[in-house]
Amino acid sequence: MNSAKQKLSAGKLVLCMGLRQARTPDIAMIAAECGFDAIYADMEHSPLSMESVSAICVGALGQGLTPLVRPPSHAGDAISRALDGGAQGVIVPHVSDAAQARAVVEHGRFPPLGHRSVMGPGPALGYRALPLGEINQTLNAETLIVVMLETPQGIANADGIAAVPGVDVLLIGSNDLCTELGIPGQLRHPKLREAYEAAAQACRRHGKTLGVGGIRGDLDLQRDLIQLGACFIIAGNDTGYLAAAARKDVETLRGLV
């Protein structure tokens, strides 16, 4: 079962950690020990191979952690191969209108919701031998489809994107969006706040979940966005966590001299 999707359906908070440097399945054990609900392998901003991504996804499944993948593009094979390799969902970047959202669903879900090619039993189902109809139905129900709104056009079309059947989460990519808005790094700018509110309203209207990424470190902003309705939070990534912990240790040790 997709534990993160179940939590979101119940209106509970899901915390997701991004992966850019990790290459082995033990990162799933570390994330689970830290209390994360999900991890996502970031193939958009890293040289991660599909083979490494699949191994990480399988490791996460063994920990009861929801494995997600951010593919490098909207390409159908990037989405379907990630899911066939063990991911329980995808986080698709730069979705700017309802037509693009529908295309994501087409690649990520089986008929009647989409046109994903049938593989049969795979890692997401523990390779259980099930009737094909049951496999397709189960994976459709358990796959999490997250689309990222990262442009002013995406925000303007948030209502239409949220109305697309098969989309579960509208995730604001805060850093890309504020860069597109001409306010890079200004996460408390009124323009960005308006974008959050527009996406939140679209999610409420169509029964979808609001997600937010790129806001690690600002607890007050995170609290505000959770109160606005955000239930899917990308809390940070492995590179940032490693650098922050190492930097703190170096500062502490040098302070002993």
Nearest-angstrom CA–CA distance, 238 and 173? 18
Known active-site residue 45: yes
Instruction: Name the token pair of 198.
Output: 């527009």
Closest C-alpha to 174, from 158, 193, 201: 193
Q: Which long-range contacts (CB under 8 A, 24 or more apart) does 119-122 make?
A: 119/84, 122/84, 122/85, 122/86
Nearest-angstrom CA–CA distance, 58 and 23? 12
45, 107, 189, 206: which one is catalytic?
A: 45
- Residue 230 to residues 66, 82, 115: CA-CA distances in angstroms? 18, 25, 30
* 8 A C-beta contact, residue 1 and residue 65: no
What's phi and psi for 85, nearest 5 deg? Answer: -80, 0
Instruction: Name the token pair of 1.
Output: 């079962």
Query: Coil, strand, or helix at residue 212?
Result: strand
Nearest-angstrom CA–CA distance, 205 and 152? 20
Instruction: Name the token pair of 64.
Output: 């009861």
Secondary structure (DSSP) of 177-202? HHHHTT-TT-TT-HHHHHHHHHHHHH
DSSP annotation of 93 reads -
> Which residue is it, tokens 């990222």?
148
Q: Catalytic residues, which ones?
A: 45
